[in-house]
Amino acid sequence: MTSPDLRQSAPATQRNREPILEVLQQVLPQGTVLEISSGTGEHAVFFASYLHFCKWLPSDPSPAARDSIAAWRQDCTADNLYPPIALDARDPVWSVEQDELPESLQNSGFKRGEIGAIANINMIHIAPWSACLGLMAGAGRILPPSGILYLYGPYKQKGKHTASSNEAFDQSLRAQNSEWGVRDLEEVIAVAQSHRLSLLRVVPMPANNLSVIFRHDE
């Protein structure tokens, strides 16, 4: 009997991964990139294969997502991709901060303090606002001086949608869950600044998305 294929697939990943890679190649420092809410794992496998100057650490709170990430990782020839870990951005202490690290990280040679950047793609609009708050708090705790936080997704600017397609998307999200929705970029920036994360760049991306890059000031 063959084992079930646990790999999940998200069509948007195929569309946005190359534009995102172009920005990451410009802004990421050397070291380990912690990806928050890695989803299917397709981004992790793709980025690790091209970003040879860093290591990629995928994470997700969903066991099914972590199974998918692990399954994609089996087919990845890159040696800079860590196994996925359980991590919820809303947790007051993330698993990479705990005195006893996850066993998979211990076995992979991960050392606390090696994370130099955090990447978060298409999460904060498909999650409660508390996930954004937790993400910024965690980035403020674990990023080193000049560490990078990279965000990707759709945003409102000055309280208004930047495209009719984003407005329709926002309505569909809120219909699914009243706690979801396209966020106001200025509100996200204000939360980041409260955790010593300064806005570095905003880069327009295809399909009315933005890359938003912060740098840790401490």
Asked if the structure places residue 5 within a domain, the reply is no
68: enclosing H helix or E strand:
helix 63-74
28: domain CATH number is 3.40.50.150
What is the reported pLDDT for 1?
45
Number of H helices, E strands in the chain: 7, 8
Which pLDDT tens digit goes with each residue over 94-151?
999 988 888 889 899 898 889 999 999 999 999 999 999 999 999 999 999 999 999 9
Asked if the structure places residue 30 within a domain, the reply is yes
Asked if the structure places residue 6 within a domain, the reply is no
Query: CB neighbours (10 Å) of residue 131?
Result: 22
Asked if the structure places residue 40 within a domain, the reply is yes
Asked if the structure places residue 107 within a domain, the reply is yes
Does residue 163 carry a pLDDT above 70? yes
Mean pLDDT, range 62-73, rounded to an integer = 96
Asked if the structure places residue 112 within a domain, the reply is yes
Asked if the structure places residue 117 within a domain, the reply is yes
Q: How confident is the model at residue 3 (pLDDT cuts 50, 70, 90)?
A: low
Q: Report the number of distinct structural domains present in the chain.
A: 1
**pTM higher than 0.85, yes or no?**
yes
Mean pLDDT, range 26-50, rounded to an integer = 96
* Domain assignment of residue 64, given as a range: 11-216
SS3 138: helix
Point out which residues pair with 85 in neighbouring strands.
59
